[in-house]
Amino acid sequence: MNFVFVEKNCTFERKMNDMQLCKEQEFSNIILLIKQSQLNAIKSVNKELIDLYWNVGKYIHERIESSVWGESVVKELADYMSKMEPNLKGFSDKNLWRMKQFYESYKDFPKLSTLLREISWSHNLAIFSRCKSLEEREFYLNIVKQEGYTFRELDRQISASLFERTMIGNAKVSTALRETHPTINNTFRDSYVFEFIGLPDSHSESDLQKGLVYLLKDFILELGKDFLFIDEEYRVQVGNNDYFIDLLFYHRGLQCLVAFELKADKFKPEHLGQLNFYLEALDRDVRKPNENPSIGILLCKDRDNETVEYALSRSMSPTMISEYKMQLPDKKLLQNKLRELFG
């Protein structure tokens, strides 16, 4: 009889626990509804704010262009607004000029209108004031929306010349990689910047690997947020031997495994053979039926472009050879290089 009593008691407790869990799930659903509503409200407010700054910028632009106002009138306007509406913030003469510049930067490109209103004013300000070409501005508008960059992350990526490095990388994607993944553009770069690790110029592959794993959030920011980290020193077994891939990721957009091999010295053709071997092992033994063929990225401290071209010319594997730098690149040098490639 005691056993039956205990059994009934346990059943009662399980039911009570299940009811509590169910109730907590319903409570969580309400919290999600509230958060979604708050997010929608923030988006709506942001859109209204961008519309306001756009319209103010347009008004000032048209008055100056038609010679109704001289440039000094903007300072008078800011002083007048400050006097009449002292609680109205953000309308100094400097900010009014920014609104005018904002309107002038995009007034002839209506296709960007929706993108502008989906990111914050501070993000917009960084993009239109720091980026010189329409292509560069459009690139960062899209990537802020896609990746959800904070202002600090966006600022770092502009300083790290993400646009130039991505465009140059697009020009050097191997034929096999482009055929395997037709949507590869803007996913991988010709070079990566790892200044956040703080390693000296003289470092080992082990130091680099440990630094990247330790600062994984910053590393994924440099790669792109569609990358999901799987493991370091990922083991694949071929025959009776074990082999270890330095870093293994999964890319959600491309739906494939991405193997990174790290080389703390200059690129050598034999490095590519090792990476191709790892890709074959991944595709035969690890890749799932619904996934695309794996991609290999060889990260070298230095490389000779002609040697890279020869090494890749007969390679049938979807691979890419990229440099990494331990300091932020010279933006002007990259811009010149971009102009050489695309005229």
pLDDT in single tens digits along all 343 residues of the chain: 444 444 555 565 666 676 677 777 777 777 777 777 776 777 778 888 899 999 999 999 998 888 888 888 889 988 988 888 888 888 899 999 999 999 998 998 888 888 888 889 999 999 988 888 888 999 999 989 888 888 888 888 888 888 887 777 654 555 666 666 665 655 666 666 666 666 666 777 777 777 776 666 677 667 777 888 888 889 998 888 889 998 898 988 888 999 988 887 777 778 888 888 999 999 999 999 999 989 888 888 766 667 767 666 656 667 766 666 555 555 666 666 566 655 5
22-56: b (≥16 Cβ within 10 Å) or e: eeeeeeeeeeeeeeeeeeeeeeeebeeebeebbeb
Instruction: Please provide the DSSP assignment of 32-97 as one string.
Output: HHHHHHHHHHHHHHHHHHHHHHHHHHHHHHHHHHTTSS-TTHHHHHHHHHHHH-TT--S--HHHHH
| Residue 100 CB partners (closer than 8 Å, separation 6+) | 57, 60, 61, 64, 74
Nearby residues of 321 by Cβ (< 8 Å), 6 or more positions away:
267, 272, 297, 298, 300, 303, 308, 311, 312
Q: What is the dihedral of CA 97, 116, 36, 48, to 10 degrees?
A: 50
CA 309 to the chain's CA centroid: 27
Strands in the chain per DSSP E: 191-193, 227-238, 241-251, 256-266, 295-302, 319-325
Strand order in the sheet with 295-302: 191-193, 319-325, 295-302, 256-266, 241-251, 227-238
The CA-CA-CA angle for residues 85, 99, 41, to 5°, reads 75
260-294: pLDDT as tens digits? 888 877 777 788 888 889 999 999 999 999 999 89
